[in-house]
Amino acid sequence: MCGIAGWIDWQEDLSQQQSILKDMTDSIVHRGPDADGFWFSERAAFGHRRLIVIDPEGGKQPMLYQDGNYTVALTYNGELYNYLELRDELETLGHSFKTSSDTEVLLHSYLEWGEDCIRRFNGIFAFGIWDERRSRLMLGRDHLGVKPLFFTKRDNGIIFGSELKVLLSHPKVDAKIDRKGLAEVFALGPMRTPGVGVFKDIEEVRAGHYMIITEEKTETKQYWQLESQEHRDDVDTTVSKIRSILEDTVKRQLLSDMPLVSMLSGGLDSSGLTAIAGKEYKENGKTLETYSIDFVNSEEDFEQDFLRRDLDEPWVRKVSEHVGTKHHSVVFGADKLVENLLVPMRARDLPGVGEIETSLYLLFKEMKKEATVALSGESADEVFSGYPWFHQKEFLDADVYPWLVNLGFISNLLSEDLKAKIRPEEYRKERFQEAVAEVPFLEGEDELQAKQRQMSYMFITRFLPFMLDRKDRSSMMTGFEVRVPFCDYRLVEYLWNIPFEMKSIDNIEKGILRRAFEGYLPDDVRNRRKSAYPSTKDAAYLEGVSKWMLRVLDNPDSPILPLLDVEKVRKIAEGKVERITGGQARGLFDYLLQINGWLEEYEIEIEL
């Protein structure tokens, strides 16, 4: 895993632009703390920050292929899980390799198959390839968008990088936000629209897409998409195929030259992956190490609710003992969470979700002390349709994203001027309708099945990107790589067409996955009901963010003030609005504090 930066210009000579490119690359040193690399030509400048995972000596970047008077240069972030098969195929076609890295395989894949190479990759990746023969740039991103890639066009060229801060480090790029960007921030929250970079004139390469850019034109092509067809496999065959794909995926994703561990929450998803990985480790005479997160006084403070039915830690211990892992439980208090609230915002370059993101960052920071790579159960709920919303009519019939149905109260806290200019309710509905228009409905499905397919599409293409952003930025901020086996595109393709009633077989969410993990996990673990990502219940956290919010409201220089109905927010911070629960207030303050910090630290110019 790494961080990439690049600048192409068809008019300006870039061969002497070392200072600018170094600033761009240095901005993401956290993504690659082990090494840096640079390459310059008249038309192109590439930078790279490296986190060593595979082939410490041979995977240095930018990587070049030179033949006579031309060069093909690659800067790449990610892992190709099928690179050994691709390497064997390329060798039969006459290619020779100097390293053992997947980077060189990606480069030679491009040399052999051109832009179609991306259709052969199984992995998580974002890359830029400059081809001097054609004077063109190729930007590519993995199927589900696990790895980020942003770009902006300026004058006669294009600037790209792993994170927004790469672009903002360039002197031609100013931190500006217009009405559309503010609508993203206040109407959609951190679940931004795919392809939108929020900052003015900044975009991202969408998941499953690549771009070909020349001086004359820019082409964006979708190389992967969900395709609807009738699911013909019976239950037993479906379970067997899911199990087979997961076993193959986990085995591939255990490949690392650096220490690898597994995240373990005690829930179905991470427990199942841990069991598969633990078996592989045991067969090779090794012990898998696992990590979980907990909070100070969690037992005393725990309150059962719709999202969290019981404590994770007893289940974590049970799975660890069953699989035979060496387990580490990392415990945090409210003070640590408040202290680090703005770190995820700095990692994203955008406001995030607050405490549950902060705790994830702190967990990765601890894991980094002993390892470089981890497996995560992220995305199982999205691809297996595991949320309750899939069978609740209120959400199936809604004309906005289901996760926004109950979040409209934030709009009521905006200033009247801002509401009039960004029209948050209309913006939500417009973005939702755009997503609906993309859904590949299947002829012959009844109304309920079509609604459930639509819901599945929303979660895979709109909600999952937020979860993957959260995981990538929180982990890479600490120079730590997290792999997500449930995002293997082969699994996602297969699951897409499994009817919801089969996915939820045995009258339980993700019932089909529970059957696939039979034999790997004890029955009570397999049948444990879903429990959301843990969150501190310590009253000191709400007290801390409430006081912080009041300080922001009392400071006339706080940049967020013109955007808010200050008195409404003040009443909530003072605890004078009974209909707002403590949990809602925490989430609200987490987000508003990050917005204020973002506007302030990034010195953002607002254009209304």
Burial group, residue 233, by CB count within 10 angstroms (0-12, 13-18, 19+): middle
Q: Select from 106, 110, 117 the least CA-distant residue to 81.
A: 106
Mean pLDDT for the chain overall: 95
Would you place residue 287 in the very low, low, confident or very high pLDDT band (cuts 50, 70, 90)? very high
Q: Which of 65-79, 228-242, 292-306 has the lowest mean pLDDT?
A: 292-306
Give pLDDT tens digits for 403-414. 987 666 688 899
Is the pLDDT score of 290 beyond 70? yes
Out of 1, 2, 74, 254, the active site residue is 2
Cα–Cα dist 551/555, whole Å: 6
49 with 176, same domain: the answer is yes
Residues 200 and 279 in one domain: no
Q: Is the pLDDT score of 154 beyond 70?
A: yes
Would strands 176-177 and 218-222 be described as parallel, antiparallel, or unpaired? unpaired
- Exposed, middle or buried, 352 (CB in 10 Å: 0-12/13-18/19+)? buried
Does 305 belong to an annotated binding site? no
| pLDDT at residue 447, as a whole number | 96
Mean pLDDT of 115-125: 98
String of DSSP letters for 505-560: GGGSTTHHHHHHTBTTB-HHHHTPPP-PSP----HHHHHHHHHHHHHHHH-TT-TT
Predicted pLDDT at 297: 85
Distance, in Å, from the CA atom of 504 to the CA atom of 385, rounded to the nearest integer, reads 8
In a domain, 343, yes or no: no
The whole-number average pLDDT for the span 579-608 is 93
Q: Is residue 389 part of a domain?
A: yes
| 564 and 455 belong to one structural domain | no
Whether residue 59 contacts residue 76, with contact meaning beta carbons closer than 8 Å, is answered with no
293 is in an annotated binding site: yes
Please compute the mean of the pLDDT values over residues 279-296 and round it to a whole number. 96
Ligand-binding site membership of 102 (annotated): yes
- Beta carbons within 10 angstroms of residue 117's beta carbon: 22
Same domain for 217 and 239, yes or no, is no
Same domain for 204 and 116 = yes
- Establish if 334 belongs to a structural domain: no
CATH of residue 120: 3.60.20.10
Mean pLDDT of the 313-332 span: 96
Total domains in the chain come to: 3
Contacts of 185 (CB under 8 A, 6+ apart): 177, 198, 350, 351, 595
Whole-number pLDDT of residue 408: 63
**Domain final residue pick, 526, 554, 578:** 526
On whether both 385 and 500 belong to a single domain, the answer is: yes
What CA dihedral angle connects 513, 517, 522 and 524, to 10 degrees? 0
Average pLDDT over residues 262-291: 97
Residue finishing a domain among 479, 500, 526:
526
Within a domain: residue 96? yes
Domain that holds residue 46: 2-222
pLDDT band at 195 (very low <50, low <70, confident <90, very high): very high
pLDDT surpasses 90 at 33: yes
Please tell me the predicted confidence (pLDDT) of residue 400: 92
Instruction: Tell me whether residue 333 is in a domain.
Output: no
Query: E-assigned strands of 135-256?
Result: 136-141, 150-154, 157-161, 176-177, 203-204, 209-213, 218-222
- pLDDT confidence bin for 401, thresholds 50/70/90: very high
Lowest mean pLDDT among 62-76, 148-162, 507-521, 524-538: 524-538
**pLDDT reported for residue 257:** 93
Residue 222, C-beta contacts closer than 8 angstroms, at least 6 positions apart: 206, 208, 209
Instruction: Tell me if residue 2 is catalytic.
Output: yes
Q: Residues 554-593: pLDDT tens digits? A: 999 999 999 999 999 999 999 998 778 888 899 999 999 9
272 is annotated as contributing to ligand binding:
no
- Judge if 25 and 143 occupy the same domain: yes
Residue 306: per-residue pLDDT: 62
**424 belongs to a structural domain:** yes
Asked whether residue 472 falls in the same domain as residue 512, the answer is yes
pLDDT tens string 328-340: 999 999 999 999 9
Residues 52 and 144 in one domain: yes
Tokens representing residue 185 in the block = 């921030």
Verify that 41 and 151 share a domain, yes or no: yes
Q: What does R_g of the chain's alpha carbons equal in angstroms?
A: 24
Over 80: is that where the pLDDT of 274 sits? yes
Q: How far apart are CA 491 and CA 250, in angstroms?
A: 12
What band does 303 get if pLDDT is binned at 50, 70 and 90? confident
pLDDT over 80 (residue 178): yes
The pLDDT of residue 379: 96
The verdict on 190 and 54 lying in the same domain is yes
Of all residues in the chain, the percent with pLDDT exceeding 70 is: 99
- Distance of alpha carbon 387 from alpha carbon 382, whole angstroms: 8
Residue-wise pLDDT tens digits, 415-438: 999 999 999 999 999 999 999 999
Q: Which of 526, 554, 577 is the last residue of a domain?
A: 526
Say how far apart CA 553 and CA 550 lie, in whole Å. Answer: 5
Q: What is the pLDDT of residue 396?
A: 94
Is 185 part of any domain? Answer: yes
In a shared domain, residues 6 and 32: yes
Q: Considering the domain boundaries, does residue 199 fall inside one?
A: yes
Is-contact 158 213, C-beta < 8 A? Answer: yes
